[in-house]
Structure 1
Amino acid sequence: MEKWRHNWDVFRTPYYSMDSMELALKDFKVATSLDTLDPVKFENMGDAYYYLTDYKASGNAYKKALTLDENNAGLYNNLGLTYLKQDIYDVAVVKFTKAIEINNQNATYYDNRAYAKTQLMDYMGAVEDYSNSIDLYAQDPEVYYRRGLLKLSLKDNFDACRDFKKAQEMGSEEAKAAIEEHCFMNKSGK
């Protein structure tokens, strides 16, 4: 299961529904060669490359789109994800930070940066990002669960168990298992 999120719109091509991204990519290459000033075309090309797991090419397309639309938080988020996929976590953090600077009201950007920070073993920074995410969107049990795991790493078992309990109440089976393993609560999590 992917632990971070891509925040793109539906691809703007008829091929997406047919799951033929290679054909769509050909169209995007033609479209970007005919119109080199439309950031959306480069973003779409980046999305297609991302879907096809060519993360370097995807990143290059997003970078080109950013030269044409430098205040697009979603593009910075998508670019950060290409760095995550390449295990270049420090650069991913920089890109997610830029997305947050442009739009600090998107919980997904905080989630993605928290994941990158976790990979860099910046657990306190990741907890802070997950907390910001929860402040913006408190209905995602996965975020409580992940923050709980980080709190365990920081030896904050009490708060970790509170996060696991909240996630379990929201339906997380992983959180239920974490409670049984790490928390001094009864099996129902109460």
Structure 2
Amino acid sequence: MDPIEESEELQQILQEDPSNLQARRRLAMLLLENGFNEEALNQLLYLANIFTEDADCYYNLGIAYEKNKKFPLAKEAYLRALNLSGENIDCIYNLGMVSIELGEFDDAINFFNRVLEVEPNDSNTYFNLGIAYLKKGEIFEALENFSKTVEINNQDYLAHFYIGNIFRETEQNELALKEFFTVLDIRPDYSWAYYNIASIYYGEGDVEQAIEYLKKTLEYNVNDIKACELLIKILVKNQQYDDAIDFLQSLTFKNEFNYDYYYLMARVFKEMGHLQYYADNLKMVLDNPDKITYPIATIQKEYDEIAQE
């Protein structure tokens, strides 16, 4: 049966008989599985008030709280489920994930290590253990766990990406590039890898390679403003003004709702000395404040200054 049809049928049953707990439990799980997280939470709270010693009920309640981003309550529900069920590995793993969200990184590390005592070859646990260490600022412990992740599952492109970031931060560019290229072997559309490669080449003075990979970044993520800013900075520095304008105009065709590109275009026109075009583009941006991520006050100040000249 279609999930929506089944959901409607279950709701009809509950309207006729609110005490049908089997139907309510099924409805709660159906809602949870299909992304109706708030509705699922309401059903599970009803059930938890009745089945106060039901570990599965509290476990699912934890999932619902987590999906509704109510992380303190999710942790409380998972701990209740764990107390009722003993060493439930899924519950312990979820406690690790929620602890990361709460910024309780030592707790997260402890929970993930408990999972690894039972499932020592679980690559996802090593990955999230790496995330916990990284957020705690312990990059070498993070690197160790990300490396263990790819040792178990070499196709985990995010683990390769984080390894690359750590190598980049520690100025081991050759190793970083190797990891980022591995990411692209696995996920050729992963724009952040292109951006990081471009950034390394730019830092090393290889402008041509930097431009190539920045354009690839924007090919896969037209809204990556950081990549666009760096690309335009390079082109302007090389006095390739027409190339900068042409590229920005091409981006406006790809995403007509992003006026950040018009602001960057305005800045290029300013560098070129075309003050009327500079003012026109600033005005266009100010007329569309809901389509810009740059501070409107800054743009307004620029426009007021040019208008007085």
Alignment TM-score, normalising by the size of structure 2: 0.54
1:62-141 aligned within 5 A:
62-141=112-191
Number of residue pairs the alignment of both structures matches: 181
1:56-67 aligned within 5 A:
56-67=106-117
One-letter amino acid of the counterpart of residue 228, structure 2: K
One-letter amino acid of the counterpart of residue 174, structure 1: K
Distance 1:182 1:134 in 2: 24
Worse-matched range after superposition: 77-86 or 13-22: 13-22
Corresponding residue to 1:174 among 203, 220, 226: 226
Distance 1:14 1:125 in 2: 41
Q: Deviation of residue 166 (structure 1)?
A: 0.9
Which runs of at least 4 in structure 1 moved beyond 6 Å after TM superposition? none
Distance 1:14 1:131 in 2: 38
Distance 1:94 1:16 in 2: 28
> Conserved in 2, the CA contact under 8 Å of 1:90 and 1:120?
no
More helix by share: 2
Percent identity between matched residues is 20
Query: Is structure 2 residue 195 aligned with structure 1 residue 145?
Result: yes
One-letter amino acid of the counterpart of residue 181, structure 1: K
Structure 1 unaligned residues grouped into runs of 5+: 1-10
Structure 2 unaligned residues grouped into runs of 5+: 1-58, 251-309
Distance 1:157 1:32 in 2: 55
Larger RCO (alpha carbons 8 Å, 6+ apart): 1
Alignment TM-score, normalising by the size of structure 1: 0.85
Q: Deviation of residue 36 (structure 1)?
A: 4.4
Tell which structure's C-alpha radius of gyration is larger.
Answer: 2
Distance 1:130 1:16 in 2: 31
Tell me what 2:67 maps to.
17
Tell me what 2:211 maps to.
161
Q: What whole-Å deviation, never above 9, does each CA across 1:91-118 have from its counterpart, x for those lacking one? A: 1111000000100112111111112222
One-letter amino acid of the counterpart of residue 135, structure 2: K
Worse-matched range after superposition: 64-73 or 153-162: 153-162
Distance 2:172 2:144 in 1: 14
Distance 1:56 1:24 in 2: 18
